Amino acid sequence: MEDDAPVIYGLEFQIHIVDFDDENNIISKNVLLHQVGEIWHISTSPADKGVLATCYNKPSDSKVLTCAAVWRMPKELEPGGHESPDDSTSPAHTLELLCHLDNTAHGSMACVAWEPAGDGKKVISLADSHILLWDLQESSSQAVLASSASLEGKGQLKFTSGRWSPHHTGTQVATANDTTIRGWDTRSMSQIYCIENAHGQLVRDLDFNPNKQYYLASCGDDCKVKFWDTRNVAEPVKTLEQHSHWVWNVRYNHSHDQLVLTGSSDSRVILSNMVSISSEPFGHLVDDDDLSDQEERRPEGKSQEPPQDSVIATYEEHEDSVYAVDWSSADPWLFASLSYDGRLVINRVPRALKYHILL
């Protein structure tokens, strides 16, 4: 989501591009037709704001298969485009198909994750028990399966979600299946860590701390949000238990990683201050390896008060389950949430906290 630029979310057979005019506090939208099926997951390319991937339902041989494809929106609707949204008069636009992620041999797609700092040519998709690395060849308009790996174990193992780490030069991906979290090296497609029983019930979502390379957040159907140091996965670093039902989404703020958003089936959005495990626990950037040096340089007699984690605010504008929350990529103090009934809510970090962080 961007300030004065599109918020993108999926509806059945449609994608709505929502523009938020911050100065006038007005929300408006354009509609893109997604005629191939009902959307279950959507993700945008970090390298090209006009390109996105969808996972959608497709009937196949008396059953429903979830497929994935990469699309381009019309130029005039891209961020920075010239067409102004108009709910009442604008006709629906059509997406341009760039390529399918052909998963007929692997099962139903759970999600697609783009390489965070790449050129938009690499994506990971999760299909049942398979993790698939795709190379998007623009010239041939097709996706080439570069490598893959599979879950091994008893029962019908299926991935539920995944997240590509912005650290480690883009070589690590975290995935969730049932109650387990796994880390993968994309160069060898081999497993590098495993957190069994990470949650008491299904793990719904994952997110990496953008500023601390080993820190990973997770949430699930046990109503908890947990924070992990992937170098030592025996126990979570912190656990939040503020929600009363399944937690569907957890998102770190891109700039100030002490700010963490969560959305839940309890119809609430909670903004938490996880300062004690952030990259700015003492008001400035501190690396784990530098903590002892910082402490040695602190003048004698000036004791540092321990940081206090807390719930900043609980938002209850939704009347149904909150399935998605996310931060603006342009304004670090702006965030949006989306609930099952189709209500989109945009909020700001409280002004007092904003100035406390900045000053």
Mean pLDDT (the chain) is 87
70's CB contacts (< 8 A; 6+ apart) are 51, 52, 53, 97, 98, 99, 100, 101, 123, 136, 143
264's CB contacts (< 8 A; 6+ apart) are 223, 243, 244, 245, 246, 247, 248, 270, 321, 322
Does the structure show a pLDDT above 70 at 304?
no
pLDDT band at 21 (very low <50, low <70, confident <90, very high): confident
Does the structure show a pLDDT above 50 at 36?
yes
pLDDT band at 297 (very low <50, low <70, confident <90, very high): very low
Q: How far apart are CA 311 and CA 317, in angstroms?
A: 17
Per-residue pLDDT, averaged over 225-254, amounts to: 97
Q: Are 259 and 270 in contact (CB under 8 A)?
A: no
Q: How far apart are CA 254 and CA 208, in angstroms?
A: 10
Q: How far is CA 40 from the centre of its chain?
A: 14
How much is the pTM? Answer: 0.86
293's CB contacts (< 8 A; 6+ apart) are none
* DSSP characters over 230-249: TTB-SS-SEEE---SS-EEE
Per-residue pLDDT at 295 = 43
Q: Name the more confident of 126 and 28.
A: 126
Q: Which of 8-17, 150-159, 221-230 has the lowest mean pLDDT?
A: 8-17
Does the structure show a pLDDT above 90 at 250?
yes
Q: How far apart are CA 70 and CA 99, in angstroms?
A: 5
Q: How far apart are CA 191 and CA 9, in angstroms?
A: 32
Per-residue pLDDT, averaged over 163-171, amounts to: 94
Q: How far apart are CA 96 and CA 89, in angstroms?
A: 22
Strands 93-94 and 26-44, bridge-based pairing: parallel
CB atoms under 10 Å from CB of 325, counted, come to 25
Q: What percent of the chain lies above the pLDDT cut of 90?
A: 65
Strand partners of residue 10 = 15
Per-residue pLDDT, averaged over 189-215, amounts to: 97
* DSSP characters over 96-149: EEEEEE--TTT--EEEEEE-TTS-S-EEEEEETTEEEEEEEETTTTEEEEEEEE
Q: Are 323 and 343 in contact (CB under 8 A)?
A: no
Q: How far is CA 351 from the centre of its chain?
A: 25
Tokens found for residue 63: 């059953």
The predicted-structure confidence for 257-278, as pLDDT tens digits, reads as follows 999 999 999 999 999 999 999 9
Per-residue pLDDT, averaged over 226-255, amounts to: 97
CB atoms under 10 Å from CB of 26, counted, come to 10
Does the structure show a pLDDT above 80 at 6?
no
Q: Name the more confident of 249 and 8.
A: 249
Per-residue pLDDT at 235 = 97
Strand partners of residue 262 = 250, 270
Does the structure show a pLDDT above 50 at 301?
no
CA distances from 11 to 53, 54, 184, 233, 264 (A): 14, 11, 31, 37, 19
Does the structure show a pLDDT above 60 at 63?
yes
Nearest to 103 by CA among 65, 75, 47: 65
Give the CA diameter of the chain. Answer: 74
Q: How far apart are CA 55 and CA 37, in angstroms?
A: 9
The predicted-structure confidence for 325-357, as pLDDT tens digits, reads as follows 999 988 999 999 999 999 999 999 998 888 777
53's CB contacts (< 8 A; 6+ apart) are 42, 43, 44, 45, 68, 69, 70, 71, 101, 112, 114, 123
CB burial of 2-14 (b: ≥16 within 10 Å; e: otherwise) equals beebbbbbbeeee
Q: Name the more confident of 215 and 296.
A: 215
Per-residue pLDDT at 292 = 46
Strand partners of residue 2 = none
The predicted-structure confidence for 97-111, as pLDDT tens digits, reads as follows 999 998 778 889 999
Per-residue pLDDT at 9 = 59
Per-residue pLDDT at 89 = 55
Per-residue pLDDT at 294 = 43
Per-residue pLDDT, averaged over 57-80, amounts to: 85
